[in-house]
Structure 1
Amino acid sequence: MSRKGENIYKRKDGRWEGRYVKSKSPSGKTQYGYVYAKTYRDAKEKLLKAFASHSQQIIPPTTNITCFSVIASEWLNSTIPQVKESTVNKYRNLLQSYILPIYGDIPLSHITHDFIECQCNNLLLYGGKNKSGLSSKTVMDTLSVIRNILKFAVRKGIFVPCDGTSVQINQVSTSMRILSSTEQERLCSYLNSEKNPYNIGILVCLFTGLRVGEICALHWEDISFSEQTLYVHQTLQRIQDKSCSEKKTRIVLTTPKSACSIRTIPIPDPILKILNDHQTSRKGFLLTNSETHFIEPRTMQNRFKIALKKSEIESANFHALRHTFATRCVELGFDVKSLSEILGHATVNITMNRYVHPTLEMKKNNMEKLSALFTVN
């Protein structure tokens, strides 16, 4: 079925009709084109192809010669002091891969709502190296960068017909992998039977909700055995190295994802005992007991997959440990505010919407509460 804003409609004769902006006259008058098909899917595909072939014609005439690439460069340079290096690399990659090849030489005053929407649709359908289309998440990230650049231009006093706010992408939500209670028991059994640094790290994440970069960055100085807490204030990650060095990437130890991610987490008694037995040094990285040697996130992710295989559990990514932790906490009756702070979220809504996944058993138990209202005379 068609969605709002798509301009695809079912005609009385049973066919589907799609309307697109074909061109704009020098006076600014819009001229529309039409496509027809027997099915909605075919009409949508025809419409997107029509968008692609006519996208350059929907740009109105102007005398403004400030090109998008010039402002994009200024914007990127202005963000460098304000965001993490990994974020700058992400912006730079999106610009080079998906934005500048299309927008680079176009004057800012030529960039309209129709043009941005058309290019986003093209990325969804034909983007990527294989021309098979990008995910809605990647296109959303790309659109976000475009919006930031256009708003930056507005702040500089440059006329921009559209700042991109009116363009919307229907984001497809992906299912999150959560270990069942049975899977969690099997995994814990294996991890306890082979207590190496990798498995200890997996156990800590499973019972604290730490991200993979956070467990890799954890130092013994961050552990308080007397108070039974761990202090999260760093993350370890491998990022692209844009310098002239021979290596393409390097490891950095930096602040966590956000200010809310800096937090103190209580440690359950069994995990505290495991850490106490594992400790051989008062300083250095927790997993390795070394001040110079560390385990990087990709290695932890690979070792987690090995642990799943040995536990005869279906494959999952490392972040599934965080999802599983949050779900188990809700099942056990944690108050959501406490859980939100343990996970390092800015608001309770993020915790509820993103990480809390009621199981079928939880739903059944809740529905059974209605039985008390059922009476037979």
Structure 2
Amino acid sequence: MAPISILSEEERRRKIVNINSETVTNTTSSYFPGHYPGEDHTWSLSKFKNSFRVRFHQNETDNASFSLIGIDASIANAFRRILIAEIPTLAIEYVYIEANDSVISDEVLAARLGQIPLTASRDGLRWLNYIPRPPQGMLGEDSGKPEDDREPKDNDTIVLKLHVKCEWKDGKKKGAEGTPEELYEHSNVYASDLVWEPQGRQEEMVTEKEGGGVRTTNPRILLAKIRPGDEIQMVCHAVKGIGADHAKFSPVATAAYRLMPTIDIVKPILGTDAKKFARCFPKGVIGFEQVTKEESQQKGSGYEGNAGEKKAVVKDSMRDTVSRECLRHEEFQKKVKLGRVRDHFIFSVESTGQIASDDLFIESVRILRGKCRALKGQLADIMR
């Protein structure tokens, strides 16, 4: 038998952000020292270890969904920002064009090449150095030259070559009828046409046993279309960068979080009202159960005389999108309370394919830990 009320008033007041028909209330966290008399809410590592939990809902190579329970919104948002803008990845930065007979201009084709996600072995990507970009026009600190004149090295630059020439297929000639695939050879230029040329120690350090070395995450990305006699020949230099430098370096297509929804049915919703109530939510959020004989005999329960009738119960509140639709109907007034748990964050991370989605979160933890160590060191210097 599912309970009618999920949370007590005290629990709701402390942990739940209230979602009302027109407003959102109780948004501020009250767990800080001195707020509740006789209660100690000072932060401690042992309390954090006991309360913090990670729960995975989906774990695929390119898509992960998991919950972080027991942390503050500022920490959850730090992870989100790091995922988007601070995890280094590989992308084409410099394009040296020798021939481009396609209808796409040089600068547009170079921009398209920069948007292709590149990947390699996990250890290989870590071996490559990330060199922070100075603001445009400033000199590089390492060489004393403008950034574009920095000499590439095997541990910071990947060389990719693209050379494609379109020709007539055997037996075909000008004026023949048919589709481009039937008439031409190499009329479509794909990401798979980019060929990695290892430099120095790269073949040893970057190559993995399965999948080869540096490669595109999706070989079927279309770059350009050319016709017989047209040729594209260029050399590309890929470097590591972060999303804060340029969006092409961001390793995620989506990195977002939402608070865990709560649906608290405080008064019975029965029969046709229960069916209507279920339609106010996404499929799977609300289910039905029969009122038991014991419930129908309890005075003041709201089930008196309704044994065997269907009642609405919450099956899976995580599926809810908090649309407030149920609050717009008069028959549900004062029967349901909507909210969100302020310390339960449901993350959705969709990788572009360069780094596995669950590894991305581990990388964000590593980067945040490094930031904390740096801040701790700076504070120690100040206190000396």
| Larger Rg belongs to | 2
* Shorter-chain TM-score range: under 0.3
- Determine which structure has greater relative contact order: mean sequence separation of CA pairs < 8 Å that are 6+ residues apart, divided by chain length: 2
What TM-score, normalized by structure 2, do the two folds share? Answer: 0.22
More strand by share: 2
More helix by share: 1
